[in-house]
Each structure stands twice: as C-alpha cells, then as structure tokens.
Amino acid sequence: MTVRIGVIGTGMIGQQHIHRLDTLVPGAAVTAVTDHDGEVAARVADGLDHDVTVHPDGFALIKDPEVDAVVVTSWGPTHAEFVLAAIGEGKHVFCEKPLATTQEDTLRIIEAEVAHGSRLVQVGFMRRYDAAYRAMKQTIADGAIGAPLVFYSGHRNPDVPAAYTREMAIVDTAVHDFDVARWLLDAEITAISVIAPRSNRHGLGRGEAEDLQDPLLMTIETSTGAVICCETSVNIRYGYDIRGEVVGEDGTVSLADRGLVQVRTAGTAAVGVPGDFASRFHAAFDVELTEWVAEVAAGSPLSGPSSWDGYASAAVCDAGVEALQQGRRVSVDLVEQPALYR
C-alpha cells in the first residue's frame, strides 16, 4: 500500500522532507501540499514529477480524501492546530519539532489523542534515528559502561538567522538535547538551571536583531539521579557540531567525530565537521520517515517520539526559559502519564 502524504509548510525542511518522501522512502507519495505562501507551494508542487494538489490551507489538506497521512513542517506556532485537526480526522500526523509552542497546547493534543484511543502523532525528534545515538543507547543497554551518571550534550551551530531570539537557544535548539537525553537515559527531566557565560561576540550587535546570550550551559536533573550538562553554542562558526558523552559507573560512551577520513599533515590530524543540521542528520531524517511510513502503512503501533515526548520536552523548555530569565533552578512537574504512552 502507498501512503499518500500531504505536507503543510513547503519551506526549508518541508522541501527536504518532500524530496525524501517522494524519492527515497519506500511506500510513500506526496499527493498534496500547502503553504502560507501559495506561490512557494505551487512551485514545489510543479517540481514533482506527478500531480500534486495545492490546497489553500492546512485544514483543507487534512480533509482531502487523497491524503492518508499528514506531515507538518510549518512554523512552530501553527503546529498545534494542524495536529489537532489531523487527529480530528483520525489521520496519522508527523509533526516537526516543536509539537506545540506551549505546554497547554501539547496537553490538548494528548487529550485528543487519548480520546481517539490510539497513537496518531509522531514528533520530529530525529536524533533518535541517528546511527551514532542508537549505538550509544545500545552500549548503555548492554551494560558496557555501567549505570549512566552524567550525559554531556554539546549542541553547536555555526550561526543562526536574524529572527533567532535568546530563548530559542532553549526552545528551538536545546529541545533536541532534552529529548535525546530523556530517551538515552530512559528518564524524565525533573529540574533545570541555566548559566550564561560571557557572550560570544558573534551573538552581539546583530543589527535589528536582539543580542544573544550565547553560549548557554544547562545543568539538568533527572528522575534516575543522572545529571545532564547541556551546552548550546549557536555562533561557533567552525561548523555544525553535535557532541555527546555518557559517563557511566565503569566507563564512558561518546559520539565519534564524523569525517569519513582523517587527514594527517604538517603536524596536525584533522577530521571534517558538518556544515549544517541537514548534512549532519540527513541519514537520520531518512530513517525517521522510512520507519514512520512503514508503521503507518502496516497499521502497527507507532514507535517514534510521541505526543508525550512533545509535552515533556515543552515542559523542560518552559522551565529552562524561566531558569534563564530568573537566574534560578526551576523544577519540571509533569502531569500523570496516560496509559497510551507507557
């Protein structure tokens, strides 16, 4: 069976996902698109080698009988209403992070999905599909390093767009580290503190844009007693570098450097660093959508990041922003987890 997919939001990642769904992912075809900017949507549709319906808005696309499942890649604040509409139609929906921009909206989604009675929502936390992170999780599960005690997670971007604000280091960037830490350590996050060192000069004096507090260091407590130390550096210039090391009772496991080769010359040994998120995680995105489409096609239970994961990460983001603004440790108090997500 081919899963006919409608994509809401044909901007940067929307176009990348359309390309992989239409050309790479077995059993998937993009049959409908829409964008706030109708011309962009029409151009993207024209670029495909088959007929694609261009809808006036996301709600019309969700109702389209030629759409079996929905992908949401529009701006974050629009996600919740589209996800809720898809649940209302009983359709599977893959939503790029964040699931919603407020905890209240993530809880509305959970309530709707629980009322539906089975999982329809998957959130785009693609790190869970990255081969290196998967090997790290397997190493921990095998008991090779003993019980995990500390996770160091470094999230470095070469630069960020003018629209990027201070809080985005937490809600747009570190949200990936929060999710992957919960998944790796099999724990919930219970509290967060944020320290802002002296700022990188590249984050200051950004014309019309606000000065950034960059880097940020977060100390994050978890339900198992393991502690996460998360660094965001979003103006690091040298590349898109994702660092990770779990310290256990008997050893450590870390993400290896990425280059295919190491070059030794003139007294140095050098390895390449990816330039952006798309090159660092392209294979993870491929696996993420391939597994999602396979599960949707088979009607089997979804195994990827759930609405609960979207809610839990949103709760940590809210606490992190409060910790940054108020300069104090903020606890994360989650609602009781519905049975659907256990």
Positions that interact with ligand ISE (CB under 6 A)? 157, 172-173, 176, 277
Cβ proximity to ligand NAD: between 113 and 288 the closer is: 288
Say how far apart CA 83 and CA 338 lie, in whole Å.
18
Say how far apart CA 195 and CA 216 lie, in whole Å.
6
| Amino acid symbol at 253 | V
The dihedrals phi and psi of 327, each to the nearest 5 degrees, come to: 60, 40
Say how far apart CA 127 and CA 171 lie, in whole Å.
16
Picked from ligand NAD, ligand ISE, none, the partner binding residue 64 (CB below 5 to 8 A depending on kind) is none
Cβ proximity to ligand ISE: between 31 and 129 the closer is: 129
Contacting residues for 182 by C-beta, under 8 A, at least 6 apart: 188, 189, 222, 309, 312, 313
Picked from ligand NAD, ligand ISE, none, the partner binding residue 295 (CB below 5 to 8 A depending on kind) is none
Picked from ligand NAD, ligand ISE, none, the partner binding residue 157 (CB below 5 to 8 A depending on kind) is ligand ISE
Which of 53, 78, 252, 254 is in the footprint of ligand NAD by CB under 6 A?
78
Stretch of 2-10, 47-55, 206-214, 301-309 contacting ligand NAD, by CB under 6 A: 2-10
Picked from ligand ISE, ligand NAD, none, the partner binding residue 173 (CB below 5 to 8 A depending on kind) is ligand ISE
List strands edge to edge, sheet with 148-156: 252-254, 241-248, 148-156, 227-233, 216-222, 189-195, 330-331
Nearest alpha carbon to residue 181 among 323, 329, 319, 312 = 312
Stretch of 5-13, 151-159, 223-231, 241-249 contacting ligand NAD, by CB under 6 A: 5-13
| Residue 304, helix vs strand vs coil | coil
Crossing angle of helices 307-326 and 175-185, rounded to 10° = 120
Considering only residues 234-253, where is the footprint of ligand NAD by CB under 6 A?
Answer: none
Minimum CB distance to ligand NAD, residue 311 (Å) = 16
Cβ proximity to ligand ISE: between 27 and 76 the closer is: 76
List C-alpha distances in Å: 108 to 91, 137, 207. Answer: 17, 31, 38
Site mask for ligand NAD (CB under 6 A), range 24-43, x = bound: ----------xxxx--x---
Q: In the complex, which residue's CB is closest to ligand ISE?
A: 173
Q: Is 94 near ligand NAD (CB under 6 A)?
A: no
Which of 62, 84, 112, 124 is in the footprint of ligand NAD by CB under 6 A?
124
With b for 16 or more beta-carbon neighbours within 10 A and e for fewer, the 233-265 pattern comes to bbbbeebbbbebebbbeeebbebeebeeeeeee
Considering only residues 181-200, where is the footprint of ligand NAD by CB under 6 A?
Answer: none
By CB under 6 A, name the binding residues for ligand NAD. 8-14, 34-37, 40, 58, 73-76, 78, 96-97, 124, 126, 172, 277
